[in-house]
Amino acid sequence: MQKIKDQLIDLQLQNTEHPPKMKNDVSKSQEEFRDFIGEDESIQNIKNNIKLFAKTPSPLFIYGETGTGKEVIVQNIHRASRTQGPLITQNCAAIPDNLLESFLFGTVKGGFTGAVDKEGLFEFANGGILFLDEINSLSMNLQAKLLRVLQDQKVRRVGGTKEIPVSVKIISATNIHPIELLENKEMREDLFYRLNVLYLELPPLRSRKEDIPLLIEHFISEYNVKLKKSIKGITEEALAYLMDHSWPGNIRELKNMIERLMNLVQSDYIGKSDIEFSDYLHVISPNYAQGDFFRKKNTKVNFKEEIQRIERKMIMDSLYETKGNISQAARNLDLPQQSLSNKIKKYNLEPEIIRIKLLKYE
């Protein structure tokens, strides 16, 4: 695990040792929001706030459901800041807590068995932005240490005594509403108030459906290049079909679905039948807010059976997305890995996982 941690840190460093050269202000301004698609009023307000937030070193706290584009927001803030400093991104749930401390703050040789002199992410991000996603995954002990670094603007490596000054803009994010985090004691109040100097709340895709055609057009263009396709667009019937979906996975779900359709479509336009076919292959998530995506309205269902059906479908969708990786699927579903493993056994999904893993070799 120590070797893996060191390799991860080295990769982060490689990505920041050669920052891209700054372009002139005109082209930079045009590129600031190139990945942030939307004309909804809430999105326009966020774009205006990005320009303001990019000019200040104050911490920013972002809340948004899974798949709403929190990392895209951070990338746009970094571009808009016109800083030469790096953007370092770390998902706090992706690394065990005992390793995350040394990952963030660095280590001193002899501090513990196998320790070497190593910079942490705070030092790598010095002069730039450090984005901590799923900040609520940190233990209370590590949250206290993070608070001290934010207050003192100094970092002390694990096993060391020297305090190293750092100048880092902290952006943190969570997919759980701040009120719920504080009520459930998942986050220290003093840390939250320190991080929540500036605040952004990203709207779910279901509340800005008028942006769906723009997003579809953007993703079709993107995957035409990646997949060497020449799809011209989507039919009106298919678009209306998608507009009726609640998109619980938000933009990520829409993007993944378009990628899957782009691999299957044989004509110039994505049609309704293509969407139905992709659902038959179990590669599109159900409409959790309105019942099954293709279910007829007013169909009577048993509540317990419906909950189990939705739960099984959510698990299968996540396993398809992660190519059968149970650990990653558990993180995507915000479930403990043991809980997901128990549910996989409950629904007898082990053969499905084997089949999913075999698909990537075909």
**Are residues 187 and 213 located together in one domain of the fold?**
no
Tell which residue, 320, 211, 326, 313, has the closest CA to residue 260. 320
State the total domains in the chain.
2
CA distance 224 to 230: 6
Q: Are residues 79 and 123 in the same domain?
A: yes
183, 203, 223 — which closes off a domain? 203
Instruction: Name the CA dihedral angle for 227, 228, 232, 237, rounded to a multiple of 10 degrees.
Output: -30
- Residues of the chain with confidence (pLDDT) below 50: 16-31, 280-299, 361-362
pLDDT (tens digit per residue) in 38-83 = 888 889 899 889 889 999 999 999 999 989 999 999 999 998 887 7
Q: Within this chain, do residues 211 and 113 fall inside the same structural domain, yes or no? A: no
Distances (CA, A) of 155 to 104, 125, 145, 185: 9, 12, 9, 26
| Angle of the 303-321 helix axis to the 350-359 helix axis, nearest 10 | 30
Kindly state whether residues 195 and 236 are assigned to the same domain: no
By DSSP bridging, strand 154-156 and strand 163-165 are antiparallel
- Whole-number pLDDT of residue 4: 65
pLDDT single digits (tens) 100-136: 888 899 888 866 666 678 888 999 999 999 999 999 8
CATH number of the domain at 286, please.
1.10.8.60
Instruction: From 152, 187, 203, give the residue that closes a domain.
Output: 203
CATH of the domain at 79: 3.40.50.300
Domain of 102 in residue numbering reads as 2-203
Same domain, 222 and 194: no
- Nearest-angstrom CA–CA distance, 251 and 248: 9
Q: Residue 256: which H helix or E strand, with range?
A: helix 250-264
Same domain membership, residue 70 and residue 84: yes
d(CA 320, CA 315): 9
My answer on whether 37 and 111 are in the same domain is yes
Statement to judge: residues 18 and 88 lie in one domain: yes
Instruction: Give the CA radius of gyration of the chain.
Output: 22
For CA atoms 276, 282, 283, 287, give the dihedral sign: positive
Residue 292's φ and ψ, nearest 5 degrees, are: -60, 145
On whether both 20 and 136 belong to a single domain, the answer is yes
**Model pLDDT, residue 289:** 38
| Three-state DSSP state, 119 | coil
Same-domain pairing of 163 and 272: no
Beta-carbon contacts of 250 under 8 Å, excluding residues fewer than 6 positions away, are 65, 66, 67, 68, 69, 204, 205, 206
pLDDT tens column, 234-244 = 999 999 988 98
Q: CA nearest 59: which of 157, 131, 122?
A: 131
pLDDT at 171: 96
Pick the last residue of a domain from 177, 203, 229.
203
Q: Is 199 helix (H, G, I), strand (E, B) or coil?
A: strand
Q: Same domain, yes or no, for 127 and 160? A: yes
Query: What is the model's pLDDT at position 282?
Result: 43
- Verify that 233 and 300 share a domain, yes or no: yes
pTM: 0.69
Total Cβ atoms within 10 A of residue 69: 23
